[in-house]
A and B are shown apart, each in its own frame.
Chain A
């Protein structure tokens, strides 16, 4: 394992996110199915680990949860082929792509960049580093999320439109992937708002779980 991979939160230099990668999720937001992956970036300043609370960014009244399988890059590369993509994976993590949905919708309507709606502080809660041995097939993992113990998202990574090797290959045609970079691979249907005081619990099958509170500040 490349040195420092377990500390990807501290050493990683980018978080690359994939939007609309589960067909039912695309439909629930009224979006067309993409012909190629929708790619955006979250800054590393958005990382939080368990024990820290998720906070509403300024001007947001509609903060959505999105549970995702995160892929941690273990070997750098550009123009990576699909067939060698799996060799570039150093490990995995559980992640939440917290989204200020109202800010995002408003910016999209005005043809403006919606970066702040996805990149605010605390918008990327992550769990512990998961070694690759624990997830031999990233397309065969259950992914679920509860808010205050009520199930909201309950999907499976076999339903990804663009699979992990394709995503790694596609992204790396545009942006070099470095050791410690994180790729968030999309979220299944069931995204919805949280309010201050809520507790989000989520997991990957029985491999990993994590819990975050939404701050009442």
Chain B
């Protein structure tokens, strides 16, 4: 298998995020259901792997954790029809979409950019590469997260507002997706604030699990 897919953390050239993509999160927050996938970017310098702590970005007082199913692109393509998307998937990974929520809220109100508040260093903790065969149906994966042992998120990707083929097809109509790109597909209800010293554990059913610590100030 091409190394860029397995080594997506070191070699991938973009991380795409999708906002408000779980029905239970929309319901819990009173947000309206989007008409199209809401696409943003996380800088690739945001990647960290287990063993490295999550850092709170400058002046942020509300750091949020959000567990997500990450899809790794296996084949470069643009304007990919929905029916062909599964052929472009190279694998999966567990991911946390760390967010500076106080700043993001302000940016949304003023029409500002999201990228500093989604793409700061350590904002994209990821797990190991998961081969495609281990997740035969990405629309039936349990996603859970715990903070200091307490269950915070407990959802399933069957609850996605826009499914994986819809997301990737939509993104690829605007931007070519390349081998090693990571697409984060959204987070279920229960996203929550974490504080310095907290321990985040998250996983996909019993397929994958990872732990990250939030660095002490």
Contacts and interface: CB of A to CB of B under 8 A. Distances in A.
Interface of A: 13-14, 16, 19, 38-41, 43-46, 57-58, 78, 108-109, 111-116, 119-121, 173-178
Given A112-B38, A113-B40, A115-B115, A121 B121 contact: no
Contacts of A57: 174
- The interface centre, meaning the residue of A43, A58, A120 with most chain B CB atoms within 10 A of its CB, is A43
Interface residues of B, number: 33
Given A108-B111, A111-B111, A174-B58, 4 more contacts: A39-B116, A112-B108, A116-B174, A175-B43
Contacts of A13: 13, 44-45
A27 to B, nearest CB: 16
A14 B111 contact: no
A111 B175 contact: no
A39 B120 contact: no
Given A112-B38, A174-B116, A121 B45 contact: no
Contacts of B34: 112
B116 A113 contact: no
Q: Which 10 A-B pairs have the closest CB atoms?
A: A108-B111, A40-B113, A113-B40, A111-B108, A43-B14, A176-B45, A120-B174, A41-B115, A174-B120, A13-B44
Nearest to B42: A41
B46 interface: yes
Nearest to A58: B173
A39 B13 contact: no
B142 interface: no
A161 to B, nearest CB: 16
Contact of B121 (A39, A78, A111, A116): A78
